[in-house]
């Protein structure tokens, strides 16, 4: 996987990571990420999906419901969240690659409470893989890589490749949290 930690440490920019990457590279990185996440939840049970882990620092300032701002995220919640974020990046990147100026968010996240089984987690990851790869298939042979967007005025401008990577970076930022929740859930049932 790409070293997104170097971006978080300020040693590289997302644009640095994106430089030279091809659509095939983005396909490979998507498959690698989803395969990694499937490996993380291998051996989990339905009880693990709904297990509420200990997370004293839980804070989600973007939660739609005020009551959800400080809850610990269970495995179902994490899977729903990471897939929605990567899909959003893929959809926005596809529009940018086709020369369309970014015009807001493109996010669809199912209710995390509806994911209660490990089969649903597997399905959500595979469905997300399919959608992200499909978005790469709509890129033109010569994408508009000169079209850029900025998350905020202080962030570097990203082209379609960088915007797609930002979704994968978000996935990567939750990998340790997935490991922690899985570990707590397995310990609780042991």
Write out pLDDT tens, residues 45-77: 999 999 999 888 888 887 777 877 888 999 999
Identify the pLDDT of residue 59: 80
What's 69's domain CATH number?
1.20.120.450
Which residues form the domain of 170? 4-189
Q: What is the pLDDT, as a whole number, of residue 111?
A: 86
Residue 91: what pLDDT?
Answer: 96
Q: How far apart are CA 144 and CA 96, in angstroms?
A: 7
The chain-wide mean pLDDT, for the chain, equals: 92
Q: pTM score > 0.95 for this model?
A: no
Rounded-to-integer distance, Cα 50 and Cα 174, Å: 17
Task: Match 């919640």 to its residue by tokens.
Answer: 77
- Higher-confidence position of 156 and 176: 176
Among residues 34, 51, 8, the alpha carbon closest in space to that of 131 is found at 34
Mean pLDDT, residues 88-95 taken together: 96
Q: For 101-110, what is the mean pLDDT?
A: 76
What average pLDDT does this structure show over 122-134?
98
Pick from 43, 70, 56, 75: nearest CA to 175: 75
CA–CA separation, 167 and 164 (whole Å): 6
* pLDDT the model gives residue 39: 98
Sign of CA pseudo-dihedral 176, 39, 4, 153: negative
Q: How many domains, in total, are found in the chain?
A: 1
User: CA Rg, the chain, in Å?
Assistant: 17
């Amino acid at each position: 996987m790409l070293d997104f930690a170097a971006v978080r440490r300020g040693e590289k920019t997302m644009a640095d990571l994106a430089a030279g990457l091809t659509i095939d590279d983005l396909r490979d990185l998507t498959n690698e990420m989803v395969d990694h996440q499937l490996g993380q939840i291998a051996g989990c049970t339905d009880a693990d999906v709904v297990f509420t882990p200990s997370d004293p620092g839980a804070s989600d300032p973007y939660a739609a419901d005020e009551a959800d701002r400080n809850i610990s995220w269970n495995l179902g919640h994490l899977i729903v969240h990471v897939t929605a974020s990567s899909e959003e990046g893929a959809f926005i990147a596809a529009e940018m690659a086709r020369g369309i100026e970014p015009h807001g968010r493109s996010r669809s996240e199912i209710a995390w409470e509806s994911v209660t089984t490990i089969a649903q987690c597997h399905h959500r990851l595979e469905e997300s893989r399919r959608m992200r790869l499909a978005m790469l298939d709509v890129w033109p042979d010569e994408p508009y890589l000169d079209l850029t967007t900025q998350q905020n005025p202080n962030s570097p401008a990203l082209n379609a490749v960088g915007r797609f990577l930002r979704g994968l970076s978000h996935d990567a930022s939750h990998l340790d949290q997935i490991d922690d929740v899985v570990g707590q859930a397995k310990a609780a049932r042991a």
